[in-house]
Amino acid sequence: MFTRQNIYELGDDWAEPILWYARGVQAMKARPLSDVTSWSFYGAIHGYLRWLWDFHGITDPSEPEPSADDAATYVNQCQHQTWYFLPWHRGYLLALERQVRREIELLGGPHDTWALPYWNYFETDRNVVPPAFRTPDWPDGSGDNPLFVEQRWGPMAIAPDNDFHELVHLNPLSDREFSGPGNGGSTGFGGRPTAFNWSGGDNGGAEWQPHNIIHTLVGGQHPTLTFPPPNDQVPILGLMSVPQTAAVDPIFYLHHCNVDRLWESWNNFPADKLAINPNDWRNPSGSDWGDGPAASGDREFAMPNTDGSTWGFTPREMEDITALDYEYEDLTPGVPVESDILGARVSNLGLPSPVKRTRESDMSSEKTVEMLGSGENKISLSGRARQINGVRMSAPGVARLSSSLARGAARSGLPDRVFLNLENVRSDSDAVLFKVYVGLSAESNQDDNAEHFAGTISLFGTTLATDPDGSHAGNGITHVIEITEIFDRMYLDNRLDTAEINVGLVPVGDIPEAANVEIGNISIYRQSE
């Protein structure tokens, strides 16, 4: 059994597992893109955009492309805005780990014990890229450290980010469902049902936080330089900021190990966490998820074996990490995660404690998702200035929500949950972050009103989802954020009966005009439990 360890707990900046990772990466980097066991090919499995690769010097313009067969089987495979996000990345990590292990074996290293370390950025002073990845030199001072990437311009690339805990959290780990009903309501911890989903649609909880935000905080954008025409005026994006270059950065795999660890933690840690429904904290049981995209007539998930043959896998095969022969040193998420949010909530609202359901037949057979409010205009976001947008509320919908908060829903006895939707978000830059506040008055300062903070949005992957020729026809990404707590407070303060609720959008840093950040609409939904 291989054990993935916390990179900051290995005892030294260049501890043995890190050193061997670097040597393995170096060996893979020595091979050309057309070799399926090369470092650049592994990056292309996640995402590949040749002009961008040539621009960054990942490839030389004269370097041959991967073969047509290899491209069709492996390239541009990363799964985002889908319930396959977690299992696909687990398989991807396993394949890369096996390849690095093979390189270590060929170099005479500890291949029978080596495992990828994980980067738990939630711990104090560890929200910075680990030291071995920040220096261009090997420990002996020679200067071709393969873990170093010049194109990291986010705040976490150089020093601990002071705003980290304001921007990154683990709230999705409190969501008991892997996949929510969507359609404006919860997308769940793991994401919504889709077929093979290269990009576009609704973010799942774990993908939103911490995954997307970390990508942007590491990759960032160049402070002054912009891309050449026709993308001029868009700042050059760090490798980690864009799905088509992210996996070329060696830190990518440590970040994803942590996301993978959080999935395992969501499933099993702590062992006695409260489950109200039989499916709580469990992965989807149906074959639509378990069989993977082949069930929808799409390409199967496939990775190269170390001998160059193909390893196809399904999400069901990715469920049990013990069967996959690895474990994590520690499953503690990193910041406190409330696993009994519902219990605290009903108590706060003065409702009876939820009854634990023991059979699936006890569960409500359907969840109602209903639009409660909507904005009226498309929103453009740029610069540093805060934008306040009114969302007009539907009185009958709000009355139904109030009723459920007062007495619990008729069917389940539980109060409704509330979700904010930022619909059809499009952008020409992925390295954009902004904070979202709900119920903030136009005069008040958001810094003094933390209770109105709904979350931070990263536009990681949005450029791809904006492409009209892309697999989602340019519909962009819809961000779904739970704002139940804010609405509970408004209800308890008798402020729910309002015709309009303000939603404030606050850029983190400067959003360039050329990024063309556009939000199709802002809407609010209730979801019965």
Binding site for another protein (CB under 8 A): 179-184, 192-198, 201, 284, 286-288, 291, 294-298, 365-371, 374, 376, 378, 392, 394, 396-397, 423-424, 468-475, 520-521, 523
501, 437 Cβ separation under 8 angstroms: no
Considering the complex, what minimum distance in angstroms separates the CB of residue 421 from another protein? 9
Of residues 370 and 430, the one with the C-beta less far from another protein: 370
Considering the complex, what minimum distance in angstroms separates the CB of residue 445 from another protein? 30
227, 114 Cβ separation under 8 angstroms: no
Cis, peptide link before residue 117, omega less than 30° from 0: no
Neighbours of 137 (CB within 10 A): 12
Considering the complex, what minimum distance in angstroms separates the CB of residue 170 from another protein? 23
Distance CA 70, CA 385 (A): 46
Of residues 284 and 333, the one with the C-beta less far from another protein: 284
Considering the complex, what minimum distance in angstroms separates the CB of residue 44 from another protein? 18
Provide the token pair at 463. Answer: 């450029």
Of residues 184 and 461, the one with the C-beta less far from another protein: 184
Considering the complex, what minimum distance in angstroms separates the CB of residue 475 from another protein? 5
Q: How far apart are the first and last CA of the chain?
A: 40
78, 245 Cβ separation under 8 angstroms: no
Considering the complex, what minimum distance in angstroms separates the CB of residue 424 from another protein? 5
Cα–Cα separations (whole angstroms), residue 63 to 30, 35, 44, 85, 415: 13, 12, 14, 31, 59
Which 8-state DSSP code applies to residue 6? B
The residue written with tokens 């050309």 in the block is: 32
Provide the token pair at 353. Answer: 């404690």
Strand partners, 523: 374, 421
Of residues 235 and 315, the one with the C-beta less far from another protein: 315
Cα–Cα separations (whole angstroms), residue 76 to 35, 64, 385, 471, 489: 16, 17, 36, 11, 44
Considering the complex, what minimum distance in angstroms separates the CB of residue 340 from another protein? 21
Of residues 67 and 377, the one with the C-beta less far from another protein: 377
Provide the token pair at 306. Answer: 């170390």
Of residues 218 and 369, the one with the C-beta less far from another protein: 369
488, 349 Cβ separation under 8 angstroms: yes
Distance CA 243, CA 103 (A): 25
Considering the complex, what minimum distance in angstroms separates the CB of residue 120 from another protein? 31
Considering the complex, what minimum distance in angstroms separates the CB of residue 195 from another protein? 5
* Listed residue (380, 331, 12) closest to 173, CA to CA: 331
Provide the token pair at 243. Answer: 């799905």
* Listed residue (526, 487, 213, 201) closest to 394, CA to CA: 526
Residue type, 296: S
Considering the complex, what minimum distance in angstroms separates the CB of residue 70 from another protein? 19
Of residues 24 and 520, the one with the C-beta less far from another protein: 520
Of residues 25 and 422, the one with the C-beta less far from another protein: 422
Residue type, 453: F
Considering the complex, what minimum distance in angstroms separates the CB of residue 375 from another protein? 9
Of residues 318 and 480, the one with the C-beta less far from another protein: 480
Of residues 102 and 472, the one with the C-beta less far from another protein: 472
Considering the complex, what minimum distance in angstroms separates the CB of residue 272 from another protein? 26
The residue written with tokens 């499953």 in the block is: 331
Q: What is the 3-state secondary structure (H, E, C) of 443-491?
A: CCCHHHCHHHEEEEEECCCHHHHHCCCCCCCCCCEEEEEECHHHHHHHH
Following CA atoms 477, 480, 481, 485 in sequence, which dihedral angle do they give, to the nearest 10 degrees? 170
Helix axis angle, 484-492 to 341-349, nearest 10°: 20
Of residues 406 and 499, the one with the C-beta less far from another protein: 499
Strand partners, 302: 312
Q: Is 328 helix (H, G, I), strand (E, B) or coil?
A: strand
Of residues 354 and 375, the one with the C-beta less far from another protein: 375
